[in-house]
Structure 1
Amino acid sequence: MSSNSFDLMCRTHAVGSVKLYSILTGIMIATFLISLDVSIIATAIPSITTRFHATTDIGWYGATYPLTMCALQPISGKLSSLLSLRWTYLSFYGIFLLGSLICGVANSSKMFIIGRAVAGAGGSGVVSGGLSVIALITTPEQRPLFTGLVTSLYALGTVVAPIIGGALAEHTWRWCFFINLPAGAVTVVTLLLFFHPPQNTGTQGVSFLKQLDLIGCALFIPSVIMVMLALQWGGDEYSWNSATVVGLFVGFAVTMTIFICWECYMGDEAMVPVVLLWGRSTTLSIAFAFLFLGSFVIPVYYLPEWFQIVKSASPIRSGVMLLPSVCTQVFGSLVCGISAKHLRYYNPWLFVGSVFLCIANGLYTTFTASSSSASWIGYEIFQGLGCGFAAQIPLLTVQLVFKDRPRYIPVGIATVLFTQYFGSAVMQSIGGAIFQNELKKQLQVQASLDHKQIEMLLNAGTLRVREVAVQAFPDRLVDIINAYNKAITTVFYLPIAGSALAFILAAGIPWVNTRSTPKDDVDCTEEADQLQSDKSANV
């Protein structure tokens, strides 16, 4: 790496305890705010649609933010690897805060949607950038603990967001977005005062635009938007075999194929360098992240449905009922992080985490309308511990593989995060199709409802299922609730399969020793050496 301008970053840019914990606090606040915006809008949408009189735009209110955040994830990682990590992170965070401000002051539905898109664009570089900062300022022994805390905060924000959103919406929904500004200022001040990393200058002799790979960016972003829209609309606004959905999938396949070919041609200067996929550690870790987080998000999404429909809980109450999972996830991350000081390998956590998650989803399939609170609390503990043990391991593995070549770390982190977001979207889409088909079947079989009556219930939405059932079919309420229970529990077979497959993939991830040696500080790891040799041979 002597000819590479990233020599200054080969060693960990460790900082003192005060600076370390100040920077960590700022990053945790930023990550929490980013995750809040994913679902804080859920309980505020009724107030927003009333203000703008635009019921037809409801779908875009929730979808625009994750859509832009997912599509811009790799380019944010590339920018962080080429430019100053400090200023790149603060720029993306500033864009997020600008989007929040636009949403807060919006006077039309279109302006609000634009604000959500801007916030998502900024959010694409905040979580990955924060993890890159942690990778730079911590030792290998500290990194699992701090990475686990940040990823746990993201999960916590997603769960408590509807509770916070509901409380703020009772006064004014605009504070769901204004709240980001004063809290965000803490992060900005903290990083300006305490975070001063070495300056990135890119690869010598190669222009910045070539390193940025604008053509790859122009191919990747529309391909992701097409597949995300197809997953968002399929089975809802359009049938899965409609020309719109099929066309979006075909467009994604064609554009992504061209993108992959272009990235292979660009080699080391690609937006997503192919070197990331040459090693077994990174390839299988990325695949594990796709399956594991996709399997985790299914219960996060469908447990509130079960609480609200089967247990007749309010939206805010259903959020509170998810806290056992979130609390144990934080606990699991702490255990994993603290234990990392004494363990030489990350791999055991992959096995334990996927097994716990598989057990939790298996237990969820046993739910009935009479299930006690002790049962679902116990099952959530398995789920939370499973995610706490394993969710951050793919991120740590990528950092470990590329510790001798830190220019790849931001791109690697962004790639893993994109895979997690994308896996969540794919699994939610498949889960939604399973739920809809099974629900219609069970309403016909158990409640003896015809097609028109079923559509009446589906159009009522989660909150009004019991109300509509009591008004229209009072003698069949129990059968209708049982039908919903059966449909929801059937969905949990999907994450059982996903987490089981993740366990199998974990067996193929090489066991790389996490302990640093003097030689590690100047030489590559064994796998990294092999990757570099393979790349040189191909050239």
Structure 2
Amino acid sequence: MAEEKEPHSVAASTVPASDSAGSVPEKPATVTSPALETDYHLTGSKLYLVLAGIGLAIFLFALDVSVISTAIPAITVDFHATTAIGWYAAAYPLCLCSLQPLAGKIYANFSLKWSYFVFVGIFLFGSLLCAVATSSVMFIIARAITGVGAAGIFSGALSILAIVAPLSKRALYTSALSSLFGIATVSGPTIGGALTTKVSWRWCFYINLPVGAVTLVVLALFFRPPVRDTDKGTLREKILKIDIFGCLLFIPTVVMAMLALQWGGHEHPWKSATVIGLLCGAVGLAVVFLVWEWHKGDDAMIPFSIVLHRSIFLSCLFAACMMGAYIVNIYYIPEWFQVIKGASPLHSGVMVIPAVGSQIAAVAVSGLVINKTGYHNPWAFVGMAFMAISSGLYTTLHPSTNHAKWITYLVFQGVGGVAMQSSILAVQVALASRPRQIPVGISTVAFFQYFGAAVFQSIALAIFQNQLVKSLKSHAGLNQDQVQLLLDAGSGHARKETMKSFPKKLDLVVWAYNKAIANTFYASLAAAIVAFLLATGIEWKDIRATKPASPKAEASPEVVVEKSRELDKPVSRKEEV
């Protein structure tokens, strides 16, 4: 196969066809031969450059989820605003999550290449605004804009992968891209802490600009997607196909649900009118949204014909539980290092390297094995089994836990990361005969991933706060004012505040924090077990044997004429028909 084949959508053919008198017309007929899917596959350096480009974009969008965690204290100092801290972290994932299905419909109905350029461009523009923000309000708006652009990066990257690589090879490449997501999420706090300490928090966002520019240049030079029928309609027709009304129902539904999850038990009590009102509003709009989507049929933003497919439905639920388990572990393990072991934010990031290294190795091995065997399903079980084991071991953490133990636990957690690719591959296999719907399927799975992460983070936070307050009062013997003093200081400054206010109780306070952190891992353990059970229902299909639907025109009379011309055979009227 050549390194890149030019699409041969038109092949000139001059095949004589006899008329009723048996004579041959003077002017030859022009024959159109359809381009095949394989004509757009890349190999060699062009393929690796495109993969590197979309990989960098995935790394940046995942990095922005967690890089801000260690930069927030410095940001609040510059803007003199502490009441808006919650929105610094929330604006980005709110837009990222709520716009996922819309991004899938845009990719399905507009040019894949130019749609991806727009999403990456919006992401970079939002990053620039974050870096130059002069006020708290401007920064929050900029984070929201960045989230809008990020909504189309992951699903768009995998949709590009579906064009440039055959299905049988996608397991290896999907594994590599998925590992970048995990690595960026884990290393985000470390990178954010290093940039904030050594340069400025603004470089957490400036860094996106040159790296993102590389992605745009590489795709502009080497990515040549096919022109689909959906790309040829008028702008009005395309806009009508993306289900604007469904989008207007879906976005506030997700925003209200996520705000209720983030505020419940933290900003506001779960029984407060604010949280109850948000939950009721989310449920009510969700019902209206589902009715509308059922009415729209295959033109819906999230078509029921896709979601109710067994493998896709179970893959969505699997993705939600898998990411829930994953995100709880990578969020609270650095907390344990900082509070219990007294590590700095930068040092705690270094301490999770065993998880990063084992994940990279495990993902590489799984990708190669899937490429040879054709089955991705076993790795869903392997990944969630190791994730459950690591979560269970984390619940046994103690202030005296030695290095050998927690390093082993981290290695098990990293191996669990091999499950991240399973839901994406399952959707691509299920939709192999409907390639136009692959972006919609990938976006739907991505939405469930992010929403599942938000749900389980909320559950873990509720467990942490309830157990911490209980332990500080019953075990450490602190009164309500002392407990509130520690809560206001934050976990990162818990040891410092304890040494300052009541140093004799440091060991008791550390024990209370250890108990609270260890209990959060019961949430990830439950999520991993549920994900393991859900994986049993996903269909087993050999991705090497899965063939996309051949173009209808491939068996048309024109192709018969073209093939006969190449063999210098006369073509009878019977063969043409």
SS of 1:514's partner is coil
2:297 corresponds to: 267
1:136 corresponds to: 163
Shift in Å, 1:12: 7.2
Q: C-alpha deviations, 1:176-201, integer Å up to 9, x for none? A: 21111111111110000000101233
2:512 corresponds to: 483
- Taking the aligned partners of 1:47 and 1:420, their CA distance within structure 2 comes to 30
Q: Pick one of 348, 352, 355 that aligns with 2:382.
A: 352
Greater shift in the superposed pair: 189-198 or 105-114: 105-114
Q: Which amino acid aligns with 1:128?
A: S
2:22 corresponds to: none
* Bigger Rg over Cα: 2
Shift in Å, 1:480: 1.2
Q: 1:326 to 1:519 in 2, by over 3 A?
A: closer
1:187 corresponds to: 215
Q: Tell me how many residue pairs correspond in the alignment.
A: 516
Q: Which amino acid aligns with 2:451?
A: F
Q: Structure 1 unaligned runs (5+)? A: 1-6, 524-539
The answer to whether residue 53 in structure 2 is matched with residue 23 in structure 1 is: no
Shift in Å, 1:216: 0.3
Q: Runs (4+) of structure 1 moved beyond 4 Å?
A: 7-12, 203-206, 517-523
Q: Pick one of 242, 245, 260 that aligns with 1:230.
A: 260
Q: Which amino acid aligns with 1:187?
A: T
**RMSD, aligned CA:** 1.8
Q: 1:471 to 1:34 in 2, by over 3 A?
A: same
Counterpart mapping for 1:52-71 below 5 A: 52-71=79-98
Q: Which amino acid aligns with 1:16?
A: T
Q: Pick one of 111, 114, 124 that aligns with 2:151.
A: 124
Q: 1:126 to 1:41 in 2, by over 3 A?
A: same
Q: C-alpha deviations, 1:411-462, integer Å up to 9, x for none? A: 1111111100000000000010011111111112211222222111111111
2:527 corresponds to: 498
1:51 corresponds to: 78
SS of 1:349's partner is helix
2:499 corresponds to: 470
Shift in Å, 1:16: 2.5
Counterpart mapping for 1:8-407 below 5 A: 13-170=40-197, 171-202=199-230, 207-387=237-417, 389-407=418-436
Shift in Å, 1:490: 1.0
- Taking the aligned partners of 1:449 and 1:182, their CA distance within structure 2 comes to 50
Q: C-alpha deviations, 1:397-416, integer Å up to 9, x for none? A: 00001011111100111111
Residue pair 1:105, 1:174 contacting (<8 A) in 2 also:
yes
- Taking the aligned partners of 1:124 and 1:213, their CA distance within structure 2 comes to 17
Greater shift in the superposed pair: 69-78 or 139-148: 139-148
2:8 corresponds to: none
Q: Structure 2 unaligned runs (5+)? A: 1-33, 553-577
Q: 1:519 to 1:181 in 2, by over 3 A?
A: closer
Shift in Å, 1:266: 0.4
Q: 1:94 to 1:517 in 2, by over 3 A?
A: closer
1:410 corresponds to: 439
Shift in Å, 1:144: 1.1
The answer to whether residue 448 in structure 2 is matched with residue 419 in structure 1 is: yes
Shift in Å, 1:516: 2.4
Q: Which amino acid aligns with 1:501?
A: V
Q: C-alpha deviations, 1:463-486, integer Å up to 9, x for none? A: 221122223222221111111111
Q: Which amino acid aligns with 1:325?
A: A
SS of 1:207's partner is helix
SS of 1:334's partner is helix
Greater shift in the superposed pair: 114-123 or 137-146: 137-146
SS of 2:482's partner is helix
Q: C-alpha deviations, 1:208-263, integer Å up to 9, x for none? A: 23211000000001111111111111111111111011100111001111111111
Residue pair 2:432, 2:547 contacting (<8 A) in 1 also:
no
- Taking the aligned partners of 1:412 and 1:149, their CA distance within structure 2 comes to 20
SS of 1:464's partner is helix
Q: 1:290 to 1:8 in 2, by over 3 A?
A: farther
- Taking the aligned partners of 1:517 and 1:150, their CA distance within structure 2 comes to 22
Residue pair 1:12, 1:136 contacting (<8 A) in 2 also:
no
Shift in Å, 1:522: 6.4
Shift in Å, 1:391: 0.8
- Taking the aligned partners of 1:221 and 1:248, their CA distance within structure 2 comes to 13
Greater shift in the superposed pair: 445-454 or 14-23: 445-454
Residue pair 2:464, 2:520 contacting (<8 A) in 1 also:
yes
Q: 1:12 to 1:508 in 2, by over 3 A?
A: farther
Q: 1:90 to 1:390 in 2, by over 3 A?
A: same
TM-score (norm 1): 0.93
SS of 1:239's partner is coil
SS of 1:413's partner is helix
- Taking the aligned partners of 1:375 and 1:326, their CA distance within structure 2 comes to 17
- Taking the aligned partners of 1:518 and 1:264, their CA distance within structure 2 comes to 29
Residue pair 1:28, 1:153 contacting (<8 A) in 2 also:
yes
Shift in Å, 1:162: 2.1
Residue pair 1:12, 1:138 contacting (<8 A) in 2 also:
no
1:532 corresponds to: none
